Structure 1
Amino acid sequence: MIISQKINFYKNVIILLLLCSGKVIAQNIDQSQIVISDNLKWSERMALSIIKRHPEAWKIDNHEAPKWDYKIGMILTAYQKLYSNTNNAKYYDYVKEYADVFIDEIGGIKKFNPENHSLDNINAGKILFDLYYKTKEGKYLTALKTLRNNFDDYPRTPSGGFWHKKIYPNQMWLDGLYMAEPFYARYTAEFEKGEKLNDVAHQFELLHKHTFDEKTDLYFHAWDESKQMPWANKETGTAPHIWLRALGWYGMALVDALDYFPKDHPKRSELIGYLNELAIAVSKYQDKSGLWYQIPNLQKQKGNYLESSGSSMLVYALAKGVHKDYLPLKFEKIANKGFNGLIKNVIKVDKNGEVHITQVCGSAGLGGNPYRDGSFEYYMSERIVTDNSHGLGAFLLAAIELDK
């Protein structure tokens, strides 16, 4: 016992010295100290479960090395909301520790090459706004400016839409609206007097115009303005199918970007109109369970399944839309039905009280290598996983918004 006490004493002295020298920023959260009470709200139960499984946020999804990751960025925006609601420093520290893995002392972003041009690389930057405002550390502002400047020479389609990625020429995906537009809108609103809000709105306008499907009132996953991709419709350029999570990205992008459009901005009512169209349409496809199918308009086709990440995203978008007065109150009922469906059908609690989310589509896209053709069979072939970050982040946002 005495030897053990001495070891702990010297260990603590070493840690203190390292902290004072600036070599250590923060210690990993002690997993053994995390107790997940079933008296907590679902948002905190899930947030604490994630921390317990992954004391360092970059390890979510079992990454072997740190990655500036759009999915972890989504999760950590939820932790910032939780910190704002609870004032629990554990949530703030979890976000800051992730940021400080990547943002060096002069504001450089490790593993970020602006020349690679990918909208996915923008999303994690959303956590830097609140970190900058709270700490007043200039490195976060420098990193924010780096991400903002990426839009200045970002490749665009002939009609002015951001390519989803440099490796996907002339393609716009609904996913990309969430990755880029809330960040772009917040930056230009808070640092540029909103001078680029029309450009933000233009990205929504293009995808609204070109991916809308008159047969279902839903939106195809993507649009190739060049109409050259094998997956693209030769007349319209649209992807072959509607994908649930793409609808979720679209809905979340709308409600989050709208936060930064002043009430007198001429494009604000247009974006609210898009959100109402989406809300009306997806309500028609909600399953009796409260969830939505991976391909929402082909519910009875063999192999289709109720998917949890896209369902969580729609719950969040509908709930926030109501709370912000963008949507009529009736959509709160749809959101609550969806959330209750998540708890009943896909949320599992293990013997240690940890919360897990099942039935998450691991990943989906178009083109690339190996080639993804956007067929129904393709979307069904992607792995269905548990505790994937798409599902974790979307569920956290939905749970926080509904305050269950």
Structure 2
Amino acid sequence: MSLLAVALCLFLASCKNKKENTETAAQPETEKVVPEDLKWSERMMLSEIERFPEPTKLDFATRARWTYTPGLVLSACSRVYEKTNNQKYYDYIYDYANTLIDSTGTIDTYKLENQNLDMIKSGDVLLYLYPKTKEERFLIAMQTLDKQLESQPTTSDGGYWHKKIYPFQMWLDGLYMAEPFHTRYAKDYIEDEAKKQEIFDHAVLQFDLIQKHSRDEESGLLYHGWDESKEQRWANKETGNSQHFWSRGMGWYGMAMVDVLDFLPEDHPGRERIITYLNLYAEAVTKVQDESGLWWQVLDQGDREGNYLEATGTSMFTYTFAKGVRKGYLDGKYLNVANKAYQALLDNLITVEENGVVNLNQCCAVAGLGGNPYRDGSYEYYIGEKIRSNDPKGTGPFIMASLELDK
């Protein structure tokens, strides 16, 4: 090869290398919309805001609606705001209430006559905002939710029906939906002492009745639903209970106990009973924790085909145990249970995208009893419901657990 040919080859190779280097340099790193040097509580909250820029669309909604899932995530958001003072979080919370509550205090998409306990949960947003804003419409909306609970139909012994369309039925979910709101509302907004006491007593009664009707003496776990009439196809003809111990059902109940204790007076006679129930619960739930640290969708059947390790219930248990220990309701050993579960979530069910957005995977999307199409409460039903990522019934408790453990 001539010297000229060699020189030409070298020149072309040099140009190619320069072009490749330029192209490599021109590819910028993916911009982090969620910084990775923040605590997990903020990382998940910012991820939720990225996924759902409109808080009324939390839970993958196609239209704005008043329902429990935004209330759950926004309660978590309020705690993140209190820790960080980042205005972005406060504005996100405010946007939900501002969008759905008009100048007269009417709640858009809410119907009191449905007597649906799920609709009470977003009242927590109003309890948070009203003292800061003093906007009369938020107070009126809270009074509407209180009116619902005053008129909510009950079982013969005083337990709230879960919804008007589910007569004579108490579900574990309902205690978290209604009681933390009602006790806090009574504490802060009911001036009549006798009336306030009546609300506290009625809240405690709900826990007494769930323990009485839904707790399995052998395992200490609680069945998802109880039908006083025993007419539902899912109900045991002798006990009225549904068939299985559902992870998130138990999760709702645990969070209800640790949260309601924030507002129940120290000298209320029911307080110690709820703490006793919480300790029995912690013992039973710990016994069915998988060796990985997570919990199964159907709690006591981890070795059964089709069952899976589920994120929402695990996040709820983690929060319940961590808060229970911090507040002195539970023995310190349960902090180890919470830490093990939290690490298992990070190791197995949390993924982070290139842009920093955090995902919580393996969430049961929904589960209930009865209705149309009919949900029979069978094992096949619970494992057969849709599984998705970033369900707010998991992300909200994950944020709260992250704050409790300061991770």
Fold in common (TM above 0.5): yes
Which amino acid counterpart does residue 388 of structure 1 have in structure 2?
A: D
Q: In structure 2, how many angstroms separate the alpha carbons of the residues matched to 1:244 and 1:223?
A: 16
Separation in structure 2 between the aligned mates of residue 35 and residue 234 of structure 1, nearest angstrom: 54
Match of 2:249 among 246, 249, 254: 246
* Between 106-115 and 308-317, the greater mean CA deviation after superposition: 106-115
Q: Which residue of 2 aligns with 1:377?
A: 380
Q: How does 1:3-402 map to 2 (within 5 A)?
A: 35-192=33-190, 193=193, 194-195=196-197, 196-402=199-405
Structure 1: any 5+ residue segments left out of the alignment?
Answer: 1-31
**Cα deviation, residue 366, structure 1:** 0.5
CA distance in 1, matches of 2:210, 2:32: 44
Shift of 1:200: 0.2
Structure label with greater radius of gyration: 2
Instruction: Give secondary structure in 2 for the equivalent of 1:369.
Output: coil
CA distance in 2 between counterparts of 1:247 and 1:341 reads 19
| Partner Cα distance (2:60, 2:344) in 1 | 27
SS in 1 for 2:226: strand
TM superposition shift of 1:60: 2.1
Residue type of the partner of 1:133? P
- CA shift for structure 1 position 215: 2.3
Q: CA deviation at 1:106?
A: 1.8
Shift of 1:96: 0.3
Measured in 2, the distance between the counterparts of 1:295 and 1:215 equals: 17
Matched letter for residue 226 of structure 2: W
- The letter of the residue matching 1:244 is S
Q: Residue 61 of structure 1: CA displacement?
A: 2.7
| Cα displacement string for residues 178-197 of structure 1 (whole angstroms, at most 9, x for unaligned residues) | 00010111111112253210
Give the CA deviation at 1:239.
Answer: 0.4
Supply the distance in 2 between the matched residues of 1:75 and 1:61 (Cα, whole angstroms). Answer: 10
AA partner of residue 155 (structure 1): P
For 1:187, the aligned partner's letter is Y
Letter in 1 for 2:341: G
2: CA distance, partners of 1:60 / 1:133: 24
**Aligned pair in 2 of structure 1 residues 33, 84: CA closer, same or farther (>3 Å)?**
farther
Q: Relative contact order: is structure 1 or structure 2 higher (C-alpha 8 Å, sep ≥ 6)?
A: 2
What's the TM-score, normalizing by structure 2?
A: 0.90
SS in 2 for 1:46: helix
Q: How far apart are residue 34 of structure 1 and its match?
A: 7.4
Q: How far apart, in 1, do the equivalents of 2:166 and 2:43 lie?
A: 38
Structure 2 gaps of 5+ residues are 1-29
Q: TM-score w.r.t. structure 1 length?
A: 0.91
Distance 1:59 1:127 in 2: 15
Amino acid at match of 1:165: K
* Per-residue CA distance 1:272-317 (angstroms, 9 max, x = gap): 1111111111111111111000011111011111000000000001
Which residue identity does 2:361 align to in structure 1? T
The alpha-carbon deviation at position 35 of structure 1 amounts to 3.3
CA contact (8 A) 2:33 2:357 kept: no
SS of 2:170's equivalent in the other structure is strand
CA displacement at 1:82 relative to structure 2: 0.7
C-alpha root-mean-square deviation of aligned residues, in Å?
1.2
